Amino acid sequence: MPPLFNTRYQFCRSFNDQNGVWYLEVPKPFRFTSETDNSPYFVKTGDNLPIIAYRHYRGFSGAPQLWRAIAEFNDIIDATEALEVNRLLIIPSLRWIKEVFLSPPDDYKSIIANIGLAS
């Protein structure tokens, strides 16, 4: 299947072979960057990444799905592991989510043109 919207794969190169099997490139992980509009958050009992994402990005379409940005921003490799209570997470701002995480890379148009998907 092609990359899904609002996921870390939405701007990845994708193609299918002659048998119809889809392939995606592995996206480059995002890492913490010091931004003035980041928010510190201390994990509470019962928290998981989708819940935290929903709380911080409420009102933004697909907010719980933005857990991946929080995980990558905080070098969380296994997002299925329970989060330690009182662990400090840095929550990327919604501005960063829109401008960096959900924006195409600079060379996106050339990538699309190079794989023959440009209209």
Query: For the domain that residue 64 is a member of, what is the CATH number?
Result: 3.10.350.10
Q: In this predicted structure, what is the pLDDT of residue 88?
A: 96
Q: Which domain holds residue 51?
A: 32-107
Q: Give φ, ψ of 82 to 5 degrees.
A: -65, 140
State pTM to two decimals.
0.65
pLDDT in tens, 12-56: 666 677 787 877 666 666 666 677 888 999 999 999 999 999 999
Q: Structurally, how many domains does the chain consist of?
A: 1
Could you give the CA distance from residue 56 to residue 81 in angstroms, rounded to a whole number? 20
